[in-house]
Amino acid sequence: MLTQADVHWIELDSVDSTNDYLSRAYQQGRVSGCAVVLTQAQTAGRGRAGRSWKAVPGASLCFSLGLPVAGYQLPFLPLCVGLAVAEVLERFEVPVQLKWPNDLIVGGQKLGGVLCESFHTGSGATTVIGVGLNVHPVDVPQALSGAGASCLVQWVDASILPSLRELAEACVLSILHQVEAARAQGISALFKQFALRDAWLGLEVVVLEEGKALFSGRAMGIDENGAYLISTSNGLRSVIAGDLSLRVAA
């Protein structure tokens, strides 16, 4: 199992995107094995479907963790990472929920997100895991379909929050533990943990494709294959991550 001692840390004042920076570093042979890029500011960060995730200095936790494995070797990695980060925040009594497949929310507002990307280099397969968390207030009016964004200091006294480096270290260690647990215990245990924090479970939701509504129904959680289940007037339908998105019905 990988530990903190196996992780090579790179700290930057500013970068376009921690995922892009770390991907370039692997592809150019400047890093190998397990590495993390942590930045104070991000000018061209990306979320799912290419959505912008910018960060001003000190306002957000922005880091990317690289693992020397292919994405298919770590099924449902975004769920693993979301659970790992949620477990860290729960130590501060932040009531985190997970929005399938890769967002962290609190109080119905977006707190953070996860973006996993895999590629091949001359040294083999690599997966880069990007994590972004709002620490201080941010202006993201469209986050989570107009519900706005939340931040850690709305839930935790700033005086007891660790530094960004310490928070990143805790998240990285939790991710490594969660990945190892998923490998050892199987994905069914992962799904059970997710169900306890499922932000959509039982709500009326709309399923979208590129912003266009396809159908609606009641959110029923994920099945044994990791697809999200929606109970509609025409029966149970499944949604595959990467193809479609869920939104709470108006």
Q: Are 136 and 57 in contact (CB under 8 A)?
A: no
19/137 same-domain check:
yes
pLDDT on residue 118: 94
| CATH number where 215 lies | 2.30.30.100
Distance between CA atoms of residues 160 and 92, nearest Å: 9
CATH number, domain at 128? 3.30.930.10
Query: What pLDDT, on the 0 to 100 scale, is given for residue 138?
Result: 75
Strand partners, 107: none
Q: Are residues 42 and 134 in the same domain?
A: yes
For the chain, the three-class secondary structure string (H helix, E strand, C coil) is CCCHHHEEEEEEEEECCHHHHHHHHHHCCCCCCEEEEEEEEECCCECHHHCECCECCCCEEEEEEEECCCHHHCCCHHHHHHHHHHHHHHCCCCCCEEECCCEEEECCEEEEEEEEEEEEECCEEEEEEEEEEECCCCCCCCHHHHCCECCHHHCCCHHHCCCHHHHHHHHHHHHHHHHHHHHHHCHHHHHHHHHCCECCCCCEEEEEECCEEEEEEEEEEECCCCCEEEEECCEEEEECECCEEEEECC
Q: What are phi and psi of 123, to 5 degrees?
A: -95, -5
Q: What confidence tens digit (pLDDT) does each residue in 71-122 have?
A: 888 878 999 999 999 999 999 999 999 998 889 999 988 899 999 999 998 8
Out of 54-63, 160-169, 171-180, least confident range: 54-63
Instruction: Verify that 208 and 185 share a domain, yes or no.
Output: no
pLDDT in the model for residue 182:
87
Same domain flag for 29 and 114: yes
Whether residue 146 is predicted with pLDDT greater than 80 in this model: the reply is: no
List the end-to-end C-alpha distance of the chain, in Å, as a whole number.
Answer: 45
Domain span including residue 180: 4-195
**Is there a single domain that holds both residue 16 and residue 79?**
yes
**High-pLDDT (> 70) share of the chain, %:** 87
234 pLDDT above the threshold of 60: yes
The total of other beta-carbon atoms located within 10 Å of residue 202's CB is 10
147-167 per-position pLDDT tens digit? 678 999 999 999 999 999 999
Is the previous residue joined to 101 through a cis bond, with omega within 30 degrees of 0?
Answer: yes
What pLDDT does residue 213 have? 85
Domain co-membership, 220 together with 181: no
Percent of the chain beyond pLDDT 90? Answer: 57
Tokens 């570093």 sit on residue:
25
Q: How confident is the model at residue 53 (pLDDT cuts 50, 70, 90)?
A: low
What mean pLDDT is reported for the chain? Answer: 87
114 and 235 fall within a common domain:
no
> Are residues 216 and 111 both part of a single domain?
no
Same domain, 141 and 211: no
Same domain as 218, residue 120: no
pLDDT digits (tens, 9 = 90+) for 15-39: 999 999 999 999 999 999 999 999 9
Q: Are residues 135 and 184 in the same domain?
A: yes
Is the pLDDT at 210 greater than 90? The verdict is no
93: left (phi over 0), alpha (psi -120 to 50) or beta: left
The structural domain count of the chain equals: 2
Q: Is residue 90 within 8 Å of residue 106, measured between CB atoms?
A: no
86, 125: one domain: yes
pLDDT of residue 64: 97
| Total count of residues recorded for the chain | 250
- Residue 244, pLDDT > 80, answer no
